[in-house]
Copies of this chain bind each other. A is one copy, B any other.
Amino acid sequence: MLRRHSAREGGILSLAQGIVHWSPPEEAMAAALRAMSDRDTSSYCPDDGYLPLCDALKAKLEAENGLKQSEVMVTQGANQAYMNTVLTLLDQGDKAVLFSPFYFNHQMALQLANASIELGKVDEDLLPDMQWFEGALQKGARDGEPIKMVTLTSPCNPTGVHVPPETVKRCAALCEQHGAWLVVDNTYEHFTYGRVHHAPEADHIVNVFSFSKGFGMMGWRVGYLAYPPRLRHEMLKSQDTIAICPTVMSQKVAIGALEAGRDWVLERVGALEESKALVRNALEPLGTANVLGGSGAIYMMARLGEGVNDAEVVEWLVAKHGVCTIPGSACGAPGFIRVCYANLADEDCKQAAERLHIGLRELCEHGMRY
């Protein structure tokens, strides 16, 4: 279990947790203020979500993601959206593919649902390996243990890679061909640094989205699902059992965020390039070839080397150099660390990068001994 930190805690600077350094747009906070006096803010809303938000999301999904047929369900963050989906799609023992490195909460959700997890291969760029996936689908069918669901995190946490539209489409086609569900976690849809993000739509595809990162709304806990209408009855069961409905105030804040819109987010994402360069430079002692990611989401992965205990290195970096990262072994990538470049701004980010650089240089100079 990873403890959730704030970005500054007890003199430690954190490049660990996946958060952004900005707060929600003014429009969101104005919506919150207006909602304070509404009586319905304190009442349950429909299970699917507060109707005006659902309508706004349908418009957003069509205009920005090209999703026209999907049902919408608002959840208490993207994690709950994924949990609803897993409980809806999988029975105990059903086989689910997670490409590794994976987002650790995906693994935990599948474990809680007693699914049988098959770790999927990635290629040298850390992209899901579609050749491996086709083989695994075929083998599953042959063995009478078909793959029931696969998860794509696009852009990817923890690898920090943008997933090209053709990879997403190939994965969707393979799933359709083999009767598997495809779940795409689009939490980082805005974080593509000029590249095209593709959320696929079909009767076998569930899309997860989030307000947390793009709009700086982590603490408000708003995510949502765009999913095939045929799943609605079962999705409502999970939703009612876990959440009844999401926090109504947070949903009104989300409406305000949608008013600020995609451009507001893209402006902030664009400004991350500077932090990314700082952090990339900090990882340089490990050698350029060992620094991966940076094309999507807010992460880079750095290879420490075969047999290096990443958890111990992370602890050493905290204790000796006051900078926090995530051990790759928490997300299926032993021997790596995951570094987030979005959770600190300006001077803090500079200082954290400097600490990391000094720490890694020391580590390399001592032959990876700490």
- A interface list, Cβ under 8 A from B: 1-4, 6, 17, 19, 23-24, 29, 32-33, 36, 39-47, 76-77, 79-80, 83, 87, 91-92, 105, 108-109, 112, 114, 216-221, 233, 236-238, 240-250
Q: Out of B24, B36, B112, which one reaches A87, CB within 8 Å?
A: B112
- For the complex, what is the distance from the CA of A240 to the CA of B105, rounded to whole Å? 7
* Contact between B219 and A42, CB atoms less than 8 A apart: yes
* Contact between A42 and B92, CB atoms less than 8 A apart: no
* Contact between A42 and B216, CB atoms less than 8 A apart: yes
Q: Out of B24, B29, B77, B114, which one reaches A244, CB within 8 Å?
A: B77
CB closest chain-B residue, reference A44? B218
Closest 5 CB pairs of A and B: A219-B248, A108-B241, A247-B247, A42-B219, A221-B247
Could you say which residues of chain B place their CB within 8 Å of the CB of A41?
A: 219-220
Q: Out of B112, B114, B238, which one reaches A238, CB within 8 Å?
A: B112
Minimum CB–CB distance from A158 to chain B (whole Å) comes to 15
CB closest chain-B residue, reference A24? B42
- For the complex, what is the distance from the CA of A53 to the CA of B19, rounded to whole Å? 23
* Contact between A17 and B44, CB atoms less than 8 A apart: yes
Could you say which residues of chain B place their CB within 8 Å of the CB of A47?
A: 3-4
- For the complex, what is the distance from the CA of A217 to the CA of B76, rounded to whole Å? 16
Could you say which residues of chain B place their CB within 8 Å of the CB of A247?
A: 76, 219-221, 247, 249-250
* Contact between A76 and B221, CB atoms less than 8 A apart: yes
Minimum CB–CB distance from A51 to chain B (whole Å) comes to 11
* Contact between B244 and A79, CB atoms less than 8 A apart: yes
Q: Out of B43, B44, B241, which one reaches A105, CB within 8 Å?
A: B241
- For the complex, what is the distance from the CA of A139 to the CA of B36, rounded to whole Å? 54
Minimum CB–CB distance from A112 to chain B (whole Å) comes to 5
Q: 26 A-B Cβ contacts within 8 A? A: A1-B240, A4-B245, A6-B43, A32-B249, A33-B36, A40-B219, A43-B218, A43-B219, A44-B219, A76-B76, A77-B243, A79-B242, A80-B242, A92-B114, A105-B241, A105-B244, A108-B237, A112-B237, A112-B238, A114-B114, A219-B247, A220-B247, A220-B249, A221-B243, A221-B245, A221-B246
- Starting from the known contacts A4-B44, A76-B243, 17 additional A-B residue pairs (CB-CB under 8 Å) come to A4-B45, A4-B244, A42-B218, A44-B218, A76-B246, A77-B244, A79-B242, A91-B114, A92-B92, A105-B241, A219-B245, A220-B248, A220-B249, A221-B244, A221-B246, A247-B250, A250-B250
